[in-house]
Amino acid sequence: MTSDFGQFCPIALASEVLTQKWMLLIIRELNAGSTRFNDIRRGVPRISATLLKQRLNQLEHAGVIIRQPHDNGGDDYLLTEAGRELKSVLAPIGEWGQRWAREIDDGDLDPGWLVWAMHRRLDLSKMPAGRTVLEIAFTDAPKDQRFFWLVCENNNVEVCVKPTGFDVDLRVSTSVRIFAEIWRGLRPLQPEIANGAIRLEGDTNLMRDFPGWLLLSVFAKTKQQR
């Protein structure tokens, strides 16, 4: 799709790049900090490798990113100034989506994506110093997507899909749907802990401070309108 709208309106020209399938989500990942091929994929899990590479090439061609060879093979994909300025495009789109977009259905509830989103929204400054290991257990997810682990240390959070070998400091058990609705800001967190829809087990301080360091979606504070 999408090229040659036959007009030189800046919105049309920008659309040639931005409205390609998956493009905004890739740009969102880049602006969230991902630079590596497979990191981007974790934020956009349903895209194929072929297509992601093609989109990255288009972004490079459009001057949104540059490639930089990486030691361990592959490239780093780094935003240019033009790419960083796309934050000002993503923000209002997300706000609008939060206010007006359709309700979500079960097909949108990807547990892995939710954990990947979480890993960028933990306030490490409000967590204990040193290493903290979280286990997320989605009670209603298929077996291979039921458990995830977040290893937090040194201003860095790693997402694992297998046990880490470290002791778990806090286990969070919940259904994907409930947690997603909290994540989106559609329901408050505290009552769901109180009524047991979210179960916390482990370190007492971590449990107590959980609502403090779990930052939720960037758009959680924007009120839904429909």
Partner DNA sequence: CGGTATCCCCGTCGATACTG
Partner DNA sequence: CAGTATCGACGGGGATACCG
What is the Cα–Cα distance from 221 to 215, expressed in whole angstroms? 11
Q: Residue 212 gets which letter from DSSP?
A: H
Please identify which residue in 49, 53, 68, 95 interacts with its own copies, judged by CB under 8 A: 95
184 binds its own copies (CB under 8 A): yes
226 binds its own copies (CB under 8 A): yes
- C-beta of 1 vs 129, nearer to its own copies: 1
Name the minimum Å distance from CB 68 to DNA: 11
167 binds its own copies (CB under 8 A): no
What is the Cα–Cα distance from 74 to 35, expressed in whole angstroms? 11
Site for DNA in 60-99 (CB under 7 A): 70, 72-75
Q: Which residues contact 105 (CB under 8 A, 6 or more apart)?
A: none
The pair of structure tokens assigned to 210 is: 């959980």
51 binds DNA (CB under 7 A): yes
Amino acid identity of residue 91, one-letter, is A
182 binds, among its own copies, DNA, none (CB under 5 to 8 A by kind): none
146 binds DNA (CB under 7 A): no
46 binds DNA (CB under 7 A): yes
The pair of structure tokens assigned to 9 is: 């309106």
208: three-class secondary structure by DSSP:
helix
DSSP states of 118-167: HTTSB-GGGS-SS-EEEEEEETTS-GGGSEEEEEEETTEEEEESS--SSP
Give me the phi and psi of 18, to 5 degrees please. Answer: -75, -25
What is the Cα–Cα distance from 120 to 214, expressed in whole angstroms? 10
Mask for 116-155, x = binds its own copies (CB under 8 A): -x--------------------------------------
Residue owning tokens 């007492």 = 204
194 binds its own copies (CB under 8 A): no
- C-beta of 92 vs 130, nearer to its own copies: 92
Binding residues for DNA, rule: CB under 7 A, are 1, 3, 20-21, 36-39, 46-51, 53, 70, 72-75
Binding residues for its own copies, rule: CB under 8 A, are 1-2, 4-25, 28, 44-46, 62-64, 81-82, 85-86, 88-102, 104, 107-110, 113, 117, 180, 184, 217, 219, 225-226
